[in-house]
Amino acid sequence: MKVGFIGLGIMGKPMSKNLIKAGHELVVCDFNKDSVKELTDLGASSASCGAEVAQQCGVIITMLPNSPHVRTVALGKGGILEGAKKGTVLIDMSSIDPTESKAIAAELAEKGVDMLDAPVSGGEPKAIDGTISVMVGGKKEIFDQYYELLMAMAGSVVYVGEIGSGNIAKLANQIIVALNIAAVSEALTLAKKAGADPELVYQAIRGGLAGSTVLDAKAPMMMDRNFKPGFRIELHIKDLNNALNASHAVNASLPLTSEVMEIMQSLKADGCEKEDHSSIVKFYEKISNVTVERGTK
């Protein structure tokens, strides 16, 4: 299948490579010329803008930072809509505000272009090995048509519902992850402050109801003082901002999300925005005057 791919960043580049490995013909577009060359060296062809991609491809995948970037690439000058034919499909795999997914899809639909919102979870390692989780919103028949294409990049592809539902699922994921990391940080700070070894507390609770993927992934990073980003604080701030915007649009209250957003904003003010979101523990350490690390001395 001939596929357009716009956005060759941390996630987009390995995802596009997996499409090539699966035998698809790619037309790629990105501001980063080194990334474009990396893909053309693997057999992809390149385009200078979204319109040029759409002139060549009936399905286009976008993997971009946030809502404004998707709107510009889809609907702006030189964007996908300028070059798209009736029946073209845009699969937006960016994590954006679901209200914007719906708005962009509505404008595309006026010109006969369908859209799926299909954000991903799993981070760069899973993008590289092709095991990301994809949550998809849009017309079921379009989802069915491109399911195998999405599976070429993923370990799991789940249809959630109408357009915007994919990003709602992603925001739900990000809320749960953020609140879990904050809970782990709070608990291990208590352990350290009370004179217990956080490592032993972690080992004691991980097999019970408090055990989770988040606990196992982030507690060791906190205790090792390893805040190399798997997922940066600044990106989680973006996601929680989208979650709060979406909640306000439907009159839902997210008090715990708001609290964690304030914690992350404090960390950003302290210059930690490029660190992994496990550095949420630094907020608790600062206000408790303690460092969460193995041992009690």
Q: So what's the pLDDT on residue 130?
A: 97
HEC per residue, 6-41: ECCCCCHHHHHHHHHHCCCEEEEECCCHHHHHHHHC
Q: So what's the pLDDT on residue 230?
A: 83
Q: So what's the pLDDT on residue 234?
A: 96
- Closest by Cα among 161, 150, 296, 135 to 223: 296
d(CA 174, CA 179): 8
Per-residue pLDDT of the chain (297 residues; tens, 9 = 90+): 999 999 999 999 999 999 999 999 999 999 999 999 999 999 999 999 999 999 999 999 999 999 999 999 999 999 999 999 999 999 999 999 999 999 999 999 999 999 999 999 988 889 999 999 999 999 999 999 999 999 999 999 999 999 999 999 999 999 999 999 999 999 999 999 999 999 999 999 999 999 999 999 999 999 999 999 888 999 999 999 999 999 999 999 999 999 999 999 999 999 999 999 999 999 999 999 999 998 755
Q: So what's the pLDDT on residue 66?
A: 92
d(CA 95, CA 231): 13
Please pick, among 13, 170, 218, 238, the residue that the annotation labels catalytic.
170
User: pLDDT tens digits for 14-53?
Assistant: 999 999 999 999 999 999 999 999 999 999 999 999 999 9
Contacts of 150 (CB under 8 A, 6+ apart): 91, 118, 134, 136, 157
Rounded to 5 degrees, what are φ and ψ at 236?
Answer: -70, -35
User: pLDDT tens digits for 7-25?
Assistant: 999 999 999 999 999 999 9
pTM (two decimals) = 0.90
Q: Is 85 a catalytic residue?
A: no
Residue whose pair of structure tokens reads 């925001």 in the numeric block: 171
What length does the chain have?
Answer: 297
Q: So what's the pLDDT on residue 296?
A: 55
